[in-house]
Amino acid sequence: MNRFETAINNGNWDAFDELLTDDFQRHCMATPDAIIESRDAFKQLQMGFLESMPNQRIDTEFLVAEGDKVAAYSTYSGTLTGPMGDIPATGKSAAVTFMTIFRIEEGRIAEIWVEWDNIAMLSQLGLFPPPAPPVEN
C-alpha cells in the first residue's frame, strides 16, 4: 500500500503498471459518475485529480489486513487550484480523512472501494453551502 500511496503522491502513473491488475476496478459512492474498470481509466482519473490539486497528498494513518483485503484509513490534502470537473478552482485547501479497502490478487491491487465525506471537503474548499447565484439587476 505504501507504493500505491507514493505513486499517487509523486504522480508516478507508470508505477500503476506493476501495482494494479489490467482490469482494476474502483468503486466510490462519493463519485458515482467516475466508472473505473481498468488500470488505464484509473490513471486518467488520477491525472485529473492532479490537475485540480497539483499539491495533492495522501498520508495513511493505519492499515488492517485480512485474507485478500487491506483496509486503509488515510488523509487526503491539497489546494484546489484548477477546476475539478464543473467545480471551479477556489484556491482553498482541504484535508479530509477517507477509507479505502483494497482487494489483492496475485500480488497486485485488483479492486478498491474508497469513501470520504464530500460535504467536509466541499465546505473546506468554500463550495458548501453552494455559492448563491449572481444577482441580476
* Residue-range domain boundaries for the chain: 2-124
Indicate the SS3 state at residue 17: helix
This prediction has a pTM of: 0.88
C-alpha grid cell, residue 55? 499539491
DSSP 23: E
Q: Of 16, 12, 68, 60, which Cα lies nearest the Cα of 42?
A: 16
Amino acid 47: pLDDT: 95
Confidence at residue 85, expressed as pLDDT on a 0 to 100 scale: 84
What is the rounded end-to-end Cα distance, in angstroms, of the chain?
54
Residue 131: what pLDDT?
65
The C-alpha atoms of residue 102 and residue 104 are separated, in whole angstroms, by 6
CATH architecture of 2-124: Roll (3.10)
DSSP conformational letter for 32: T
For residue 73, what are the CA distances in angstroms to 21, 101, 102, 126? 22, 9, 11, 25
**Residue 89: DSSP 8-state:** P
- Strand arrangement, sheet containing 93-105: 20-27, 108-116, 93-105, 69-79, 57-66
Q: Which portions of the chain are predicted below pLDDT 50?
A: none
